[in-house]
Amino acid sequence: MKKLFAVGSAAALVLLAGCSSNDTGTSASSASASAASTTLNVSAAASLKKTFTTIAGDFEKAHPGVKVSLSFAGSSTLVNQIKQGSPADVFASADEKNMTKLGDKALDPKIFATNTLVIVTAPGNPKGIHTIADLNKAGVTTVVCQVAQPCGAATATVEKNTGITINAKSQEESVTAVLTKVTSGQADAGLVYVTDAKGAGDKVATVVDPAFAAVVNKYPIAVVRGAANEGVGKEFVDAVLSASGQQVLQAAGFGKP
């Protein structure tokens, strides 16, 4: 009997040890899987594509297990998507107006950059465009942003300040779309941000009208209230505002906050 009891006890200990090992392993595995599957959803203005892609890459290197999923579009479009339930932990707008539209869902918005408009044309500026008024010359096809988008609102303000209404062939949903129309030859000129023109390099010629200096777009960023990853989102906001994040933005032509 004593021998049987000893064998039974030993088996029970082995079973308990196995369960303990199993539980610990499962817990550790779950924690690891959770860390590895953390996806931070960042919705950002189209003009931020190049800089935020760089900042996101640096952020992932500094935060093992975190994947930054970037979504770029016109700020107004992104606000509507977020309001309709599109997953977003962080929102970066090209103007304060669209951040305000997000209401109390935007947690403590902070300005992280500024930008101004320029005119872009085909390389060499073949249509001889030198001012905003030249955009209405005969034979010049011009495209601008929709007024609901920050680039379009800025354009409207420039028009009001100068008293010149641009006879645009089309109004696009994002500044990227405007730039594409010009670089693809579908338009002779377009109004985009300084950063977009700089990013296009020798694909475009840039024309600066003095009226642009008076219209400065301020870019705010905020964590979205109730987001699945608010904590990591705050860290991403800090990364954008950090010295290294600001260096990336300013190298691309963005002004200081």
CATH number at residue 73: 3.40.190.10
219 is in an annotated binding site: no
Residue 75 counted as an annotated binding residue? yes
Q: Are residue 194 and residue 246 in the same domain, yes or no?
A: no
| Pair 130, 143 in one domain | yes
Question: What is the extent of the structural domain holding 157?
Answer: 117-214
**Within a domain: residue 11?**
no
Q: Average pLDDT, stretch 151-161?
A: 98
138 in the same domain as 97:
no
Radius of gyration of the chain (CA): 26
Q: Which tokens hold the place of 159?
A: 């028009």
215 assigned ligand-binding residue = no
Number of domains observed in the structure of the chain: 2
The reply to whether 7 falls in a domain is no
Q: What is the spatial distance between Cα 54 and Cα 71, in angstroms, rounded to a whole number?
A: 14
The verdict on residue 23 lying in a domain is no
For residue 37, the model assigns a pLDDT of: 81
Residues 181 and 164 reside in one and the same domain: yes
pLDDT(34) > 70: no
67 & 98 share domain: yes
Instruction: Give me the phi and psi of 41, to 5 degrees please.
Output: -90, 115
Q: Is residue 224 domain-shared with residue 192, that is, in the same domain?
A: no
Which stretches does DSSP call E strand in the chain?
38-45, 66-73, 90-92, 106-115, 117-121, 142-145, 170-172, 189-193, 205-207, 217-224
Residues 155 and 181 in one domain: yes
Domain for residue 169, yes or no?
yes
Query: Same structural domain for residues 121 and 239?
Result: no
pLDDT in tens, 65-89: 999 999 999 999 999 999 999 999 9
pLDDT in tens, 199-216: 999 999 999 999 999 999
CA distance 140 to 91: 36
Confidence (pLDDT) at 28: 38
Q: What is the pTM of this model?
A: 0.83
Q: Is 47 annotated as a binding residue?
A: yes
Domain shared by 67 and 107, yes or no? yes
